[in-house]
Amino acid sequence: MRRRKHLKFDSLLRFLNSAQSELKRCERSKSYLAGTILMGAAVEFALTSLMHAWPHLVYRRGKKLKDYWDLKRLNDFAHTVGWLDYKAFLAAERIRKHRNLVHPNWFASKNPPRIAKGLFAARHKDLAEVWRSVNRWLFGDTA
């Protein structure tokens, strides 16, 4: 894939549709951890794409596109500029926390939750909440 500086809605929608079909495949094969990680990647991709599409929102807040942007910082920024309402922000944070289970040392000293069907389904609902908020910001859609 070629990196693009500006958001192309068709490429963003193509990625999100591809991620959606992969999530269905993860659910069918009971690969719940992989699906949860994919949800985190999808949120990160979407928020990064929005930052590159509206860089003036980044610069106006004294930040740069080339700064280090992990998912926590992206979620915080998206909430600050209004891409994520509070409910979607909390949903994105839950996705981020469960996505971090891929890091072996992250939860090494804790008892990490097992990503099972119920938790996967809950994070999938969280992903839908994030998309709803982003769509509302992009298109003024309240549905």
| Cβ pair 88, 132 in contact under 8 A | yes
Domain annotation covers residue 3: no
Residue 57 sits at the vertex; the CA angle it makes with 127 and 80, to the nearest 5 degrees, is 50
| Cβ pair 129, 91 in contact under 8 A | yes
* Residue in 90, 100, 102 with CA at minimum distance from that of residue 129: 90
Q: What local confidence, expressed as pLDDT, does residue 105 receive? A: 66
Rounded mean pLDDT, 104-109 = 62
The whole-model pTM stands at 0.85
Domain annotation covers residue 2: no
Domain annotation covers residue 54: yes
Give per-residue pLDDT as tens, 44-56.
999 998 888 888 8
Q: Write the DSSP string, 116-133.
A: -HHHHHHHHHHHHHHHHH
Domain count, the chain: 1
Provide the CATH number for the domain around residue 57.
1.20.120
133 is in which domain, residue-wise? 9-138
